[in-house]
Chain A
Protein backbone atom coordinates (compact mmCIF):
# COMPACT_ATOMS: atom_id res chain seq x y z
CA UNK A 1 0.00 0.00 0.00
CA UNK A 2 1.12 3.54 -0.81
CA UNK A 3 2.43 5.42 2.24
CA UNK A 4 0.34 8.51 2.91
CA UNK A 5 2.35 11.52 3.99
CA UNK A 6 1.63 13.32 7.27
CA UNK A 7 1.08 17.07 7.52
CA UNK A 8 4.68 17.66 8.56
CA UNK A 9 6.05 15.81 5.52
CA UNK A 10 3.74 17.19 2.83
CA UNK A 11 4.84 20.21 0.79
CA UNK A 12 2.88 23.21 2.11
CA UNK A 13 -0.16 24.55 0.32
CA UNK A 14 -1.83 21.79 -1.73
CA UNK A 15 1.21 21.27 -3.97
CA UNK A 16 1.99 18.11 -5.94
CA UNK A 17 4.60 17.19 -8.51
CA UNK A 18 3.96 18.33 -12.08
CA UNK A 19 2.03 16.37 -14.70
CA UNK A 20 -0.26 14.50 -12.32
CA UNK A 21 -3.04 14.43 -14.94
CA UNK A 22 -0.93 11.84 -16.80
CA UNK A 23 -1.61 9.35 -14.00
CA UNK A 24 -5.34 9.85 -14.13
CA UNK A 25 -6.85 8.05 -17.09
CA UNK A 26 -10.10 9.76 -17.91
CA UNK A 27 -10.88 7.54 -20.91
CA UNK A 28 -13.23 5.30 -18.94
CA UNK A 29 -15.69 8.19 -18.56
CA UNK A 30 -16.43 7.95 -22.29
CA UNK A 31 -19.88 7.08 -23.59
CA UNK A 32 -19.17 8.35 -27.12
CA UNK A 33 -15.98 7.62 -28.97
CA UNK A 34 -14.12 10.08 -31.19
CA UNK A 35 -13.08 8.19 -34.33
CA UNK A 36 -10.29 9.57 -36.52
CA UNK A 37 -10.44 9.16 -40.32
CA UNK A 38 -6.87 9.80 -41.54
CA UNK A 39 -7.83 9.90 -45.23
CA UNK A 40 -10.02 12.97 -44.60
CA UNK A 41 -7.63 14.82 -42.30
CA UNK A 42 -6.20 18.10 -43.65
CA UNK A 43 -3.65 18.41 -40.79
CA UNK A 44 -4.99 21.75 -39.60
CA UNK A 45 -4.40 20.82 -35.91
CA UNK A 46 -7.65 22.47 -34.77
CA UNK A 47 -8.59 19.28 -32.89
CA UNK A 48 -5.20 19.23 -31.19
CA UNK A 49 -5.53 22.86 -30.09
CA UNK A 50 -9.02 22.35 -28.69
CA UNK A 51 -8.75 18.93 -27.00
CA UNK A 52 -9.02 19.58 -23.23
CA UNK A 53 -7.22 16.32 -22.41
CA UNK A 54 -4.33 16.42 -24.89
CA UNK A 55 -5.74 13.19 -26.33
CA UNK A 56 -4.91 13.91 -29.98
CA UNK A 57 -1.85 11.86 -30.87
CA UNK A 58 0.75 13.70 -32.94
CA UNK A 59 3.70 11.88 -34.47
CA UNK A 60 6.45 13.46 -36.58
CA UNK A 61 4.46 16.69 -36.84
CA UNK A 62 1.24 15.00 -37.97
CA UNK A 63 -2.06 14.13 -36.33
CA UNK A 64 -2.29 10.33 -36.38
CA UNK A 65 -5.09 9.38 -33.98
CA UNK A 66 -6.84 9.55 -30.63
CA UNK A 67 -5.43 8.46 -27.27
CA UNK A 68 -8.31 6.50 -25.74
CA UNK A 69 -6.65 6.39 -22.31
CA UNK A 70 -7.56 10.05 -21.94
CA UNK A 71 -10.29 10.82 -24.51
CA UNK A 72 -13.47 11.48 -22.47
CA UNK A 73 -15.62 11.58 -25.58
CA UNK A 74 -16.57 15.23 -25.14
CA UNK A 75 -16.87 15.71 -28.90
CA UNK A 76 -15.10 19.06 -29.12
CA UNK A 77 -12.64 17.71 -31.74
CA UNK A 78 -15.48 16.45 -33.96
CA UNK A 79 -17.38 19.71 -33.55
CA UNK A 80 -14.33 21.84 -34.38
CA UNK A 81 -12.99 19.73 -37.26
CA UNK A 82 -13.56 21.88 -40.40
CA UNK A 83 -16.81 20.92 -42.25
CA UNK A 84 -14.99 20.12 -45.47
CA UNK A 85 -12.83 17.60 -43.66
CA UNK A 86 -15.04 15.91 -40.98
CA UNK A 87 -12.01 13.78 -40.18
CA UNK A 88 -13.30 13.03 -36.69
CA UNK A 89 -16.77 11.64 -36.01
CA UNK A 90 -18.47 10.59 -32.79
CA UNK A 91 -19.68 7.03 -32.53
CA UNK A 92 -21.42 5.03 -29.81
CA UNK A 93 -18.95 3.56 -27.35
CA UNK A 94 -19.22 -0.20 -27.25
CA UNK A 95 -19.28 -1.28 -23.62
Chain B
Protein backbone atom coordinates (compact mmCIF):
# COMPACT_ATOMS: atom_id res chain seq x y z
CA UNK B 1 0.00 0.00 0.00
CA UNK B 2 1.45 3.38 -1.06
CA UNK B 3 1.35 5.96 1.70
CA UNK B 4 3.14 9.24 2.38
CA UNK B 5 5.37 8.89 5.45
CA UNK B 6 8.33 10.71 6.93
CA UNK B 7 11.33 8.60 7.94
CA UNK B 8 10.25 8.79 11.58
CA UNK B 9 6.66 7.81 10.73
CA UNK B 10 7.93 4.94 8.61
CA UNK B 11 10.06 3.63 11.50
CA UNK B 12 7.18 4.03 13.97
CA UNK B 13 4.82 2.18 11.60
CA UNK B 14 7.36 -0.63 11.27
CA UNK B 15 7.49 -0.84 15.08
CA UNK B 16 3.69 -0.98 15.24
CA UNK B 17 3.62 -3.85 12.77
CA UNK B 18 6.45 -5.65 14.58
CA UNK B 19 4.54 -5.23 17.86
CA UNK B 20 7.54 -5.68 20.19
CA UNK B 21 7.00 -6.94 23.75
CA UNK B 22 8.92 -4.03 25.29
CA UNK B 23 9.95 -0.55 24.15
CA UNK B 24 11.99 1.52 26.63
CA UNK B 25 12.83 4.93 25.26
CA UNK B 26 13.79 8.51 25.99
CA UNK B 27 12.84 10.75 23.06
CA UNK B 28 15.46 13.01 21.46
CA UNK B 29 15.47 15.28 18.40
CA UNK B 30 15.29 14.34 15.54
CA UNK B 31 14.15 10.83 16.58
CA UNK B 32 11.50 12.12 19.02
CA UNK B 33 8.56 11.36 16.75
CA UNK B 34 9.41 7.66 16.46
CA UNK B 35 8.61 6.92 20.10
CA UNK B 36 6.06 9.72 20.33
CA UNK B 37 4.00 8.15 17.54
CA UNK B 38 4.67 4.69 18.93
CA UNK B 39 3.52 5.65 22.44
CA UNK B 40 0.24 6.77 20.85
CA UNK B 41 -0.07 3.29 19.30
CA UNK B 42 0.41 1.88 22.81
CA UNK B 43 -2.20 4.27 24.26
CA UNK B 44 -4.64 3.40 21.48
CA UNK B 45 -4.21 -0.32 22.11
CA UNK B 46 -2.87 -0.98 18.60
CA UNK B 47 0.11 -2.87 20.03
CA UNK B 48 0.63 -5.15 23.04
CA UNK B 49 3.90 -3.46 23.95
CA UNK B 50 4.96 -2.65 27.50
CA UNK B 51 6.18 0.93 27.01
CA UNK B 52 8.74 2.01 29.61
CA UNK B 53 9.21 5.77 29.87
CA UNK B 54 12.69 6.05 31.39
CA UNK B 55 14.69 9.07 32.59
CA UNK B 56 17.67 8.83 30.24
CA UNK B 57 19.00 6.92 27.25
CA UNK B 58 21.41 5.07 29.52
CA UNK B 59 18.35 3.78 31.36
CA UNK B 60 16.50 3.17 28.09
CA UNK B 61 19.19 0.78 26.86
CA UNK B 62 19.55 -0.74 30.35
CA UNK B 63 15.82 -1.49 30.44
CA UNK B 64 16.02 -2.91 26.91
CA UNK B 65 18.88 -5.18 28.00
CA UNK B 66 16.92 -6.40 31.02
CA UNK B 67 13.80 -7.03 28.98
CA UNK B 68 15.71 -8.78 26.21
CA UNK B 69 17.54 -10.99 28.70
CA UNK B 70 14.17 -11.83 30.22
CA UNK B 71 13.07 -13.14 26.82
CA UNK B 72 11.18 -10.24 25.25
CA UNK B 73 11.33 -8.87 21.70
CA UNK B 74 12.68 -5.38 22.37
CA UNK B 75 13.03 -2.16 20.39
CA UNK B 76 13.94 1.45 21.06
CA UNK B 77 14.92 4.59 19.21
CA UNK B 78 17.45 7.34 19.75
CA UNK B 79 19.83 9.83 18.17
CA UNK B 80 23.07 11.71 18.75
CA UNK B 81 23.69 12.50 22.44
CA UNK B 82 21.16 9.79 23.27
CA UNK B 83 23.17 7.14 21.48
CA UNK B 84 26.30 8.58 23.09
CA UNK B 85 24.71 8.22 26.54
CA UNK B 86 23.84 4.60 25.70
CA UNK B 87 27.47 3.90 24.77
CA UNK B 88 28.33 1.86 27.88
CA UNK B 89 25.18 -0.23 27.54
CA UNK B 90 25.58 -0.78 23.78
CA UNK B 91 28.64 -2.92 24.44
CA UNK B 92 26.78 -4.85 27.13
CA UNK B 93 23.84 -5.57 24.83
CA UNK B 94 26.23 -6.93 22.22
CA UNK B 95 28.43 -8.78 24.73
CA UNK B 96 25.43 -10.52 26.27
CA UNK B 97 24.29 -11.32 22.71
CA UNK B 98 20.86 -9.73 23.05
CA UNK B 99 18.77 -9.12 19.92
CA UNK B 100 17.69 -5.51 20.52
CA UNK B 101 16.76 -3.26 17.58
CA UNK B 102 17.28 0.53 17.62
CA UNK B 103 15.78 2.95 15.14
CA UNK B 104 18.66 5.43 15.18
CA UNK B 105 18.40 8.84 13.53
CA UNK B 106 21.87 10.09 12.62
CA UNK B 107 22.66 13.48 14.14
CA UNK B 108 25.76 15.51 14.91
CA UNK B 109 27.37 15.29 18.35
CA UNK B 110 27.94 18.30 20.62
CA UNK B 111 29.85 20.60 20.94
CA UNK B 112 28.85 22.92 19.37
CA UNK B 113 25.31 21.80 20.06
CA UNK B 114 23.51 20.97 16.81
CA UNK B 115 20.39 18.94 16.11
CA UNK B 116 20.94 18.18 12.42
CA UNK B 117 22.00 15.16 10.49
CA UNK B 118 25.48 13.76 10.20
CA UNK B 119 26.92 10.33 10.91
CA UNK B 120 29.11 11.15 13.95
CA UNK B 121 26.84 9.44 16.46
CA UNK B 122 26.48 6.11 14.63
CA UNK B 123 30.15 6.05 13.62
CA UNK B 124 31.03 6.53 17.29
CA UNK B 125 29.29 3.23 17.99
CA UNK B 126 30.80 1.37 15.05
CA UNK B 127 32.99 -0.87 17.22
CA UNK B 128 30.34 -1.60 19.85
CA UNK B 129 29.38 -4.98 18.40
CA UNK B 130 26.11 -3.79 16.88
CA UNK B 131 25.08 -4.55 13.33
CA UNK B 132 24.66 -1.19 11.56
CA UNK B 133 22.34 -0.65 8.61
CA UNK B 134 22.17 2.74 6.88
CA UNK B 135 19.15 3.94 4.87
CA UNK B 136 18.98 6.22 1.84
CA UNK B 137 15.28 7.01 2.32
CA UNK B 138 12.16 6.19 4.34
CA UNK B 139 11.41 3.06 2.32
CA UNK B 140 14.79 1.53 3.11
CA UNK B 141 14.45 2.50 6.77
CA UNK B 142 11.03 0.84 6.98
CA UNK B 143 12.14 -2.32 5.18
CA UNK B 144 15.36 -2.58 7.18
CA UNK B 145 13.55 -2.22 10.53
CA UNK B 146 11.45 -5.27 9.65
CA UNK B 147 14.48 -7.25 8.45
CA UNK B 148 16.48 -6.16 11.53
CA UNK B 149 14.17 -8.14 13.83
CA UNK B 150 15.00 -11.41 12.11
CA UNK B 151 18.68 -10.54 11.64
CA UNK B 152 19.14 -9.72 15.33
CA UNK B 153 17.28 -12.79 16.58
CA UNK B 154 19.15 -15.18 14.30
CA UNK B 155 22.58 -13.60 14.78
CA UNK B 156 21.96 -13.02 18.50
CA UNK B 157 23.38 -9.55 18.01
CA UNK B 158 21.73 -6.14 18.40
CA UNK B 159 21.01 -4.08 15.29
CA UNK B 160 20.75 -0.35 14.68
CA UNK B 161 18.90 0.82 11.59
CA UNK B 162 19.72 4.43 10.78
CA UNK B 163 18.22 7.33 8.86
CA UNK B 164 19.77 10.78 8.36
CA UNK B 165 18.43 13.38 10.80
CA UNK B 166 15.80 15.69 9.24
CA UNK B 167 16.89 14.85 5.68
CA UNK B 168 15.12 11.49 5.98
CA UNK B 169 13.53 11.61 9.43
CA UNK B 170 11.35 14.62 8.63
CA UNK B 171 11.07 14.36 4.85
CA UNK B 172 7.70 13.20 3.56
CA UNK B 173 8.05 10.48 0.94
CA UNK B 174 5.75 7.92 -0.60
CA UNK B 175 6.59 4.49 0.74
CA UNK B 176 5.14 1.09 0.01
CA UNK B 177 3.91 -0.36 3.30
CA UNK B 178 3.48 -4.09 3.79
CA UNK B 179 0.12 -5.25 5.21
CA UNK B 180 0.23 -5.82 9.01
CA UNK B 181 -0.55 -9.51 8.71
CA UNK B 182 2.31 -10.05 6.22
CA UNK B 183 4.82 -8.36 8.53
CA UNK B 184 3.56 -10.52 11.39
CA UNK B 185 3.99 -13.66 9.31
CA UNK B 186 7.41 -12.58 8.04
CA UNK B 187 8.94 -11.92 11.47
CA UNK B 188 7.11 -14.80 13.17
CA UNK B 189 7.12 -15.34 16.90
CA UNK B 190 10.30 -14.77 18.90
CA UNK B 191 11.40 -17.97 20.61
CA UNK B 192 14.70 -17.36 22.40
CA UNK B 193 16.81 -20.46 23.13
CA UNK B 194 17.35 -19.29 26.70
CA UNK B 195 15.77 -16.49 28.66
CA UNK B 196 16.01 -15.46 32.29
CA UNK B 197 12.28 -15.73 33.06
CA UNK B 198 12.35 -19.41 32.09
CA UNK B 199 12.26 -20.70 35.67
CA UNK B 200 12.53 -24.30 34.51
CA UNK B 201 15.97 -23.66 33.04
CA UNK B 202 17.68 -21.12 35.30
CA UNK B 203 21.15 -19.82 34.39
CA UNK B 204 23.62 -17.09 35.28
CA UNK B 205 23.98 -14.23 32.79
CA UNK B 206 26.72 -11.64 32.76
CA UNK B 207 29.15 -13.04 35.30
CA UNK B 208 32.64 -11.56 35.63
CA UNK B 209 35.13 -12.87 33.07
CA UNK B 210 38.78 -12.18 33.74
CA UNK B 211 41.96 -13.26 31.94
CA UNK B 212 40.65 -16.81 31.82
CA UNK B 213 37.40 -16.44 29.83
CA UNK B 214 36.84 -12.85 28.56
CA UNK B 215 38.81 -13.44 25.36
CA UNK B 216 36.83 -16.59 24.48
CA UNK B 217 33.52 -14.77 24.90
CA UNK B 218 34.72 -11.82 22.79
CA UNK B 219 35.94 -14.32 20.20
CA UNK B 220 32.39 -15.70 20.06
CA UNK B 221 31.11 -12.17 19.51
CA UNK B 222 33.60 -11.56 16.68
CA UNK B 223 32.58 -14.86 15.12
CA UNK B 224 28.88 -13.99 15.49
CA UNK B 225 29.51 -10.78 13.56
CA UNK B 226 31.20 -12.79 10.79
CA UNK B 227 28.31 -15.27 10.73
CA UNK B 228 25.79 -12.42 10.60
CA UNK B 229 26.82 -11.74 7.00
CA UNK B 230 25.07 -14.86 5.76
CA UNK B 231 22.07 -14.15 8.00
CA UNK B 232 21.74 -10.61 6.62
CA UNK B 233 21.80 -11.92 3.05
CA UNK B 234 19.35 -14.76 3.86
CA UNK B 235 16.88 -12.35 5.47
CA UNK B 236 17.24 -9.97 2.50
CA UNK B 237 16.49 -12.84 0.12
CA UNK B 238 13.43 -13.90 2.15
CA UNK B 239 12.27 -10.28 2.20
CA UNK B 240 12.72 -9.95 -1.55
CA UNK B 241 10.84 -13.20 -2.14
CA UNK B 242 7.93 -12.08 0.06
CA UNK B 243 7.74 -8.39 -0.82
CA UNK B 244 9.71 -7.88 -4.03
CA UNK B 245 12.31 -5.39 -2.85
CA UNK B 246 15.97 -6.30 -3.16
CA UNK B 247 18.53 -5.58 -0.44
CA UNK B 248 22.13 -6.57 0.19
CA UNK B 249 25.29 -5.34 1.87
CA UNK B 250 25.34 -2.40 -0.53
CA UNK B 251 23.62 -0.99 -3.55
CA UNK B 252 25.45 -0.54 -6.84
CA UNK B 253 24.22 2.24 -9.08
CA UNK B 254 25.62 2.08 -12.62
CA UNK B 255 28.84 0.76 -11.12
CA UNK B 256 29.48 -2.33 -13.23
CA UNK B 257 30.96 -0.47 -16.22
CA UNK B 258 31.95 2.70 -14.35
CA UNK B 259 35.36 4.38 -14.75
CA UNK B 260 34.90 6.59 -11.70
CA UNK B 261 32.90 5.95 -8.56
CA UNK B 262 31.72 7.61 -5.40
CA UNK B 263 31.22 5.64 -2.20
CA UNK B 264 28.79 7.21 0.27
CA UNK B 265 26.21 6.19 2.87
CA UNK B 266 22.66 7.30 3.56
CA UNK B 267 20.73 10.16 2.00
CA UNK B 268 23.65 11.63 0.00
CA UNK B 269 23.48 8.50 -2.17
CA UNK B 270 20.17 9.75 -3.59
CA UNK B 271 21.75 13.03 -4.70
CA UNK B 272 24.75 11.12 -6.07
CA UNK B 273 22.45 9.00 -8.25
CA UNK B 274 21.06 12.17 -9.87
CA UNK B 275 24.60 13.34 -10.64
CA UNK B 276 25.56 9.89 -12.00
CA UNK B 277 22.60 10.10 -14.40
CA UNK B 278 23.58 13.61 -15.53
CA UNK B 279 27.18 12.56 -16.16
CA UNK B 280 26.13 9.39 -17.96
CA UNK B 281 24.02 11.57 -20.32
CA UNK B 282 27.25 13.41 -21.15
CA UNK B 283 29.07 10.15 -21.79
CA UNK B 284 31.03 10.09 -18.52
CA UNK B 285 31.00 6.63 -16.98
CA UNK B 286 30.23 7.52 -13.37
CA UNK B 287 28.89 5.11 -10.76
CA UNK B 288 27.99 4.78 -7.10
CA UNK B 289 28.56 2.19 -4.41
CA UNK B 290 26.30 2.82 -1.43
CA UNK B 291 27.16 0.65 1.56
CA UNK B 292 23.96 -0.29 3.40
CA UNK B 293 25.49 -2.61 5.98
CA UNK B 294 28.46 -0.90 7.63
CA UNK B 295 28.78 -3.48 10.43
CA UNK B 296 29.60 -6.22 9.62
CA UNK B 297 31.85 -4.52 7.07
CA UNK B 298 31.71 -6.53 3.81
CA UNK B 299 35.29 -5.70 2.85
CA UNK B 300 35.90 -8.45 0.29
CA UNK B 301 32.61 -7.89 -1.50
CA UNK B 302 33.12 -4.11 -1.65
CA UNK B 303 36.73 -4.40 -2.83
CA UNK B 304 35.66 -6.81 -5.54
CA UNK B 305 32.93 -4.46 -6.80
CA UNK B 306 35.31 -1.49 -6.86
CA UNK B 307 38.19 -3.40 -8.44
CA UNK B 308 37.44 -2.32 -12.01
CA UNK B 309 37.04 1.43 -11.55
CA UNK B 310 39.95 3.81 -12.22
CA UNK B 311 39.38 6.35 -9.44
CA UNK B 312 37.25 6.47 -6.30
CA UNK B 313 36.08 9.20 -3.98
CA UNK B 314 34.80 8.22 -0.55
CA UNK B 315 32.41 10.70 1.03
CA UNK B 316 32.22 10.76 4.83
CA UNK B 317 29.47 12.50 6.78
CA UNK B 318 31.62 12.43 9.93
CA UNK B 319 35.23 13.08 10.80
CA UNK B 320 37.54 11.05 13.02
CA UNK B 321 39.56 14.09 14.21
CA UNK B 322 42.63 11.93 13.82
CA UNK B 323 44.58 14.23 11.49
CA UNK B 324 43.72 11.56 8.93
CA UNK B 325 40.49 10.64 7.16
CA UNK B 326 36.81 9.79 7.66
CA UNK B 327 35.72 6.37 8.95
CA UNK B 328 34.27 5.14 5.65
CA UNK B 329 37.45 6.11 3.78
CA UNK B 330 39.71 4.17 6.13
CA UNK B 331 37.51 1.07 5.83
CA UNK B 332 37.27 1.25 2.02
CA UNK B 333 40.97 1.84 1.48
CA UNK B 334 41.95 -0.93 3.88
CA UNK B 335 39.49 -3.25 2.09
CA UNK B 336 41.17 -2.43 -1.24
CA UNK B 337 44.68 -2.84 0.20
CA UNK B 338 43.93 -6.20 1.81
CA UNK B 339 42.54 -7.39 -1.53
CA UNK B 340 45.72 -6.24 -3.34
CA UNK B 341 43.80 -3.64 -5.31
CA UNK B 342 45.68 -0.44 -6.07
CA UNK B 343 43.27 2.31 -7.18
CA UNK B 344 43.67 6.05 -6.53
CA UNK B 345 41.19 7.04 -3.78
CA UNK B 346 40.48 10.37 -2.16
CA UNK B 347 38.27 11.35 0.74
CA UNK B 348 35.81 14.16 1.26
CA UNK B 349 34.29 15.05 4.59
CA UNK B 350 30.91 16.69 3.99
CA UNK B 351 27.64 17.63 5.63
CA UNK B 352 28.74 18.00 9.26
CA UNK B 353 25.96 19.36 11.45
CA UNK B 354 23.46 18.98 8.62
CA UNK B 355 25.35 21.22 6.14
CA UNK B 356 23.62 20.62 2.83
CA UNK B 357 25.33 18.74 0.03
CA UNK B 358 23.93 19.39 -3.44
CA UNK B 359 24.23 18.26 -7.02
CA UNK B 360 26.90 20.91 -7.75
CA UNK B 361 29.11 19.64 -4.88
CA UNK B 362 28.95 16.03 -6.02
CA UNK B 363 29.47 17.02 -9.67
CA UNK B 364 32.75 18.71 -8.62
CA UNK B 365 33.89 15.52 -6.88
CA UNK B 366 33.19 13.49 -10.01
CA UNK B 367 34.96 16.08 -12.22
CA UNK B 368 38.05 15.76 -10.04
CA UNK B 369 37.77 11.96 -10.36
CA UNK B 370 37.80 12.25 -14.16
CA UNK B 371 41.21 13.95 -13.83
CA UNK B 372 42.51 11.41 -11.30
CA UNK B 373 41.41 8.52 -13.51
CA UNK B 374 43.70 9.90 -16.25
CA UNK B 375 46.72 11.03 -14.21
CA UNK B 376 46.37 8.21 -11.65
CA UNK B 377 47.50 10.77 -9.08
CA UNK B 378 45.59 12.01 -6.05
CA UNK B 379 46.65 15.61 -5.56
CA UNK B 380 44.68 16.10 -2.36
CA UNK B 381 43.98 13.04 -0.24
CA UNK B 382 41.44 14.53 2.16
CA UNK B 383 39.18 17.47 1.36
CA UNK B 384 36.17 19.15 2.94
CA UNK B 385 33.03 19.98 0.95
CA UNK B 386 31.07 23.14 1.59
CA UNK B 387 33.01 24.56 4.53
CA UNK B 388 33.84 28.29 4.46
CA UNK B 389 37.44 29.38 4.77
Contacts and interface: CB of A to CB of B under 8 A. Distances in A.
B209 interface: yes
Contact of B203 (A6, A10, A17): A17
B216 A14 contact: no
Contacts of A14: 95-97, 205-207, 209, 217
B179 interface: no
A13 interface: yes
Contacts of B212: 4
B204 A13 contact: no
Given A12-B97, A12-B156, A5 B216 contact: yes
- Specify the main secondary structure of chain A where it touches its partner: loop
Contacts of A7: 215-217, 219-220, 223
B198 to A, nearest CB: 11
B202 interface: yes
Nearest to B92: A14
Contacts of A12: 97, 156, 220, 224
Nearest to A18: B202
B355 interface: no
Contacts of A16: 203-204, 207
Please classify how large the interface on chain B is, using the bins under 10, 10 to 19, 20 to 34, 35 or more: 20 to 34
B184 interface: no
B176 to A, nearest CB: 36
Contacts of A4: 212-213
B217 A10 contact: yes
Interface string A7-32: 10010111111111000000000000
Interface residues of A, number: 14
Contacts of B217: 7, 10, 13-14
For A5, A15, A20, the residue with the greatest tally of chain B CB atoms inside 10 Å of its CB is A15
Contacts of B216: 5-7, 10
A7 B215 CA distance: 8
Interface in B200-250: 202-207, 209, 212-213, 215-217, 219-220, 223-224
Given A7-B220, A7-B223, A13 B205 contact: yes
A13 B98 CA distance: 8
Given A7-B216, A12-B224, A20 B156 contact: no
For A4, A10, A13, A15, the residue with the greatest tally of chain B CB atoms inside 10 Å of its CB is A13
B364 interface: no
A24 to B, nearest CB: 10
A15 B220 contact: no
A91 B219 CA distance: 47
For B97, B215, B217, the residue with the greatest tally of chain A CB atoms inside 10 Å of its CB is B217
B280 interface: no
B97 A13 contact: yes
A16 B96 CA distance: 12
A20 B220 contact: no
A25 B15 CA distance: 46
Nearest to A5: B216
B194 interface: yes
Contact of A15 (B203, B215, B219): B203
Contacts of B206: 14
B97 A18 contact: no
Given A13-B97, A14-B97, 7 more contacts: A5-B213, A7-B217, A10-B220, A12-B220, A14-B207, A14-B209, A16-B203
Interface of A: 4-7, 10, 12-20
9 contacts: A5-B213, A6-B216, A7-B220, A7-B223, A10-B213, A13-B95, A13-B98, A14-B207, A18-B202
Interface of B: 95-98, 156, 194, 202-207, 209, 212-213, 215-217, 219-220, 223-224
Nearest 5 Cβ contacts at the A-B interface: A13-B97, A18-B202, A7-B216, A7-B219, A16-B204
